[in-house]
A and B are shown apart, each in its own frame.
Chain A
Amino acid sequence: MLQAIKRICGDPLGLVGLFLVALMVLSAVLASVIAPYDPIALNIIDRLQGPSFKHLLGTDQLGRDLFSRVLFGGQVALKIALISISIALCIGVVLGMIAGFGPRWLDNIIMLLFDTIRSFPTVMFALATVALVGPSLSTVVVIIVITSIPTYGRVVRTQTLSIKSNEYIQAELAMGASTFRILSMHLLPNVVGPLFILASMDIPTVIALEAGLSFLGMGVKPPTPSWGSILNDGYNLIRNTPWPIIAGSIPLVLVTLGFTFLGESLRDLIDPKLRKSL
């Protein structure tokens, strides 16, 4: 673990990624401490202000402090990303291992399920679901979970299939080890490495999806702050002031870059073939 951090620090892009991710996580966790104002407190007198020492990123049309809204919006984004990706990971790993290790017919059924889900465009699927059950934070989570399970499941299945033919799995079978033991002790540890990279590269996608849905008014319900709804407000006000758009997009860009850099750096770290020196 220490060595991993050391290696990431040796890679400039990875270092930038690590810094940006740490910045986002810290500001989201400490949002209530750092934020100078209540993110949903109205202050009509101070509305549509540019950046100043009083309001670092200015205010929106209702006079809410944009800096505080960005911080709390980050909290929402991170929460959704972490919750939905962890749930999708767990289900994906289980289904993928069952598909890869289990009997052929079960594999076929699970694969058919995955392919069906993946054949829907994510945004269309999301719009349809929201239209059915209405926008909310948990709807967003459910949509993301369902659409990302096949991605993880497929990776796990492929890995399982290739590891299954290794001699050490045969050796375990010959000793009489149970399927559960083989899956949990011998397959899982060899499968999770690449998955974490995939997940870390998925986080920005999920954050962007949440922002997109909220932008369309189909994600997090107002007045809860979200980067997407900040952007939407900014979009409507673009003729009056550019600040809400800037305030909403900067963190989105930085976080996307941060997780992507970190993910790539992690991938280089784990895949020994891509490692530069021996």
Chain B
Amino acid sequence: MSKNVLTIRNLSVNYQTDQGTLQAMRNVNIDVPKGSIVGVVGESGCGKSTLISTIIRLLATNADIPNGEVDFEGRDILTLSEDEMRKLRGDRLSIVFQDPMSSLNPVLTIGKQMTDIQYRDKKTMAQKRQRSINMLESVGIPDPASRLNQYPHEFSGGMRQRIAIAMALQAEPSLLIADEPTTALDATLEVQIIHLLKQLQSTIGCSVLFISHHLGVIAELCDYVVVIYAGEVVEEGTVSDVFKRPQHPYTEKLLECDPANIAQKTRELPTIPGNVPDLVSLPSGCIFKDRCHTKIDRCDNERPQRIDAADKHYVSCHLRSPQ
């Protein structure tokens, strides 16, 4: 057994659109070591949702995967049958979505939904119910036994996200995918959810793939971070390494742009000029070159290779290459 729960190698995903082939992800490598929290940072349109859909194998019908492997607990997810995949989802692999308002079925009670997803266990109804009560208690829902009979609309947004987390972790999966789970919440609730996730992760011992655009949250919660730009991984490493010594100009700029990083009051905030390139007609060379402030001639034609910048710290940038 390798020490990774999830290993993504050389993964590319294309969408067939009216305009042509949209290369949403290109040669992506991601490792999620056992028992760790890996953050994926990227702005809108960088391929975050494509990444999740690929891992849980729920890609849109117009998508295809020309190359790559998604190794989960020693098996390549992309080669599994539909049936085998269904057995994985919700059991070894579960997910918490961004919107707690729409990820729970509004016409079923919380208790019904939480016992239903334990259909794999050969336990009595009372045991399943007890398990749900314990789970709700561990995510900090007061008076869980009676609240089990309530419907989703009777809970607030923060409570619903807690319930969603309880449901996802109920089967003690080895990997939890969290898709921007705090984006729809207020700041004071965001902190609560992050701390809850961190605490549950260490008790259950699962790994977490945490998708977010919020750098502060990643810094707070994650061990490793992967920075994605326009469908490519541009930098990855431990959080402290990447946030302290960013190697890729995009990461550098992103950190600089975060208003939380700007202590001095200013009327002129830093930005990254330009737009994300069109993924249907990809530019040659480096994907970030048009918005890069340190562009050199090589960036125009040659695609940068993934290189070791430090221990477990990889970057794809010509400026960091030895030549």
| Cα A139 to Cα B218 with chains together (Å) | 72
Number of chain B residues whose Cβ lies closer than 8 Å to a Cβ of chain A: 6
CB-defined contacts of B323 to chain A, threshold 8 Å: none
B187 interface residue (CB < 8 Å to A): no
Q: Inside 8 A of B15's CB, which chain A residues have their CB? A: 278
User: Among residues 52 to 89 in chain B, which have CB atoms less than 8 Å away from a CB atom of chain A?
Assistant: 60-62
Query: What is the bound-complex CA distance between A278 and B14, given in angstroms?
Result: 13
Within 8 A of B (CB), among A244-278: 276-278
Q: Which residues of B contact A278 (CB under 8 A)?
A: 15, 17, 60, 62
Residues in chain A near residue B62, CB distance under 8 A:
277-278
Q: Which residues of A contact B17 (CB under 8 A)?
A: 278
Q: What B residues does A276 contact at CB under 8 A?
A: 61
Please report whether the interface of chain A is mostly helix, strand, loop or mixed according to DSSP: loop
With CB as the reference atom, state the residue of chain B lying closest to A3.
B18
Q: In the assembled complex, how far is the CB of residue B57 from the closest CB belonging to chain A, in whole angstroms?
A: 18
Instruction: Annotate B34-61 by CB proximity to A: 1 below 8 A, 0 otherwise.
Output: 0000000000000000000000000011
Give the residue name and chain of the A residue nearest to B15 (CB): A278
Q: How many residues of A contact B (CB 8 A)?
A: 3
**Those of B1-54 within 8 Å (CB) of chain A:** 15-17
Name the residue on B nearest A277 (C-beta). Answer: B62
| C-alpha gap A133/B228 in the complex (Å) | 75
Q: How far is the CB of B138 from chain A (nearest CB, A)?
A: 37
Give the CA-CA distance A277 to B19 in the complex, in Å: 13
Q: How far is the CA of A278 from the CA of B280 in the complex (A)?
A: 14
Give the CA-CA distance A277 to B60 in the complex, in Å: 9
* Complex-state Cα separation, A276 to B62, whole angstroms: 9
Give complex CA distance A276, B61 in Å: 9
Measured CB to CB, the closest approach of chain A to B148, in angstroms, equals 33
How far is B15's CA from A159's CA once the two chains are assembled, in angstroms?
A: 33
Measured CB to CB, the closest approach of chain A to B20, in angstroms, equals: 13
Chain A residues 205-257 with CB under 8 Å of chain B are: none
Q: Inside 8 A of A277's CB, which chain B residues have their CB? A: 16, 61-62
What mask results when residues 145 to 189 of chain A are scored 1 for a CB within 8 Å of chain B, else 0?
000000000000000000000000000000000000000000000
A277 to B15, CA, bound (A): 10
CA distance A7 to B17 in the complex (A): 15
| Residues of chain A lying within 8 A (CB to CB) of residue B16 | 277
**Shortest Cβ distance from residue B16 to the other chain A in the assembled complex, whole angstroms:** 8
- In the assembled complex, the Cα of A278 lies from the Cα of B16 at a distance in Å of 9
Give complex CA distance A277, B64 in Å.
13
Whose C-beta in chain A lies nearest to the C-beta of B63?
A278
Q: Which residue of A lies closest to B17 (CB)?
A: A278
Nearest CB of B to A232, in Å: 50
Contact with B along A101-129 (1 / 0, CB 8 A): 00000000000000000000000000000
In the bound complex, how far is the Cα of B61 from the Cα of A277, in angstroms? 7
Nearest CB in chain A to that of B22: its residue: A278
What distance in Å separates the Cβ of B301 from its nearest Cβ neighbour in chain A? Answer: 32
| Docked pose: A259 CA to B266 CA in angstroms | 64
**A278–B61 CA distance with the chains assembled, in angstroms:** 9
CB distance from A31 to the nearest CB of B (A): 41
State the Cβ distance, B97 to closest chain A Cβ, in Å: 19
Within the complex, the shortest CB–CB distance from B194 to chain A, in Å, comes to: 30
> Bound state CA distance, A83 and B266, in angstroms?
66
Q: How far is the CA of A276 from the CA of B60 in the complex (A)?
A: 10
Report B63 CB to chain A, min CB distance, Å. 10
Q: Which residue of A lies closest to B16 (CB)?
A: A277
Chain A hits for B60, CB < 8 A: 278
Chain A residues in 8 Å Cβ range of B61: 276-277
A interface footprint on B108-150 (CB within 8 Å = 1, 0 otherwise)? 0000000000000000000000000000000000000000000
Q: How far is the CA of A143 from the CA of B9 in the complex (A)?
A: 68
Report B2 CB to chain A, min CB distance, Å. Answer: 36
| A276 CA to B18 CA, complexed, in Å | 13
Least CB distance, A272 to chain B, in whole angstroms: 13
Shortest distance between the CB of A170 and any CB in chain B (Å): 21
**CB of B85 to closest CB in A, whole Å:** 23
CB distance from B91 to the nearest CB of A (A): 30
Report how far A278 CA is from B60 CA in the complex, Å.
9
Within 8 A of B (CB), among A39-55: none
Q: How far is the CB of A2 from chain B (nearest CB, A)?
A: 14
Least distance between A178 CB and chain B CB atoms (Å): 35
* Residue on B nearest A276 in the bound complex, by CB: B61
Question: Given the complex of chains A and B, what is the CA–CA distance between A128 and B15 in angstroms?
Answer: 60
A61 to chain B, nearest CB (A): 58
CA distance A14 to B62 in the complex (A): 23
Shortest distance in angstroms between B93's beta carbon and chain A's nearest beta carbon? 26
A97 to B15, CA, bound (A): 40
- Distance in Å: Cβ of A4 to nearest Cβ of chain B: 14
What distance in Å separates the Cβ of A169 from its nearest Cβ neighbour in chain B?
22
Apart from A277-B61, A278-B15, 4 more pairs, CB < 8 Å: A276-B61, A277-B16, A278-B17, A278-B62
A-B contact pairs, 8 of them (CB 8 A): A276-B61, A277-B16, A277-B61, A277-B62, A278-B15, A278-B17, A278-B60, A278-B62
Question: What is B's interface to A at a CB cutoff of 8 Å?
Answer: 15-17, 60-62
Q: Nearest 8 A-B pairs (CB), nearest first?
A: A277-B62, A278-B62, A278-B17, A278-B60, A278-B15, A277-B61, A276-B61, A277-B16
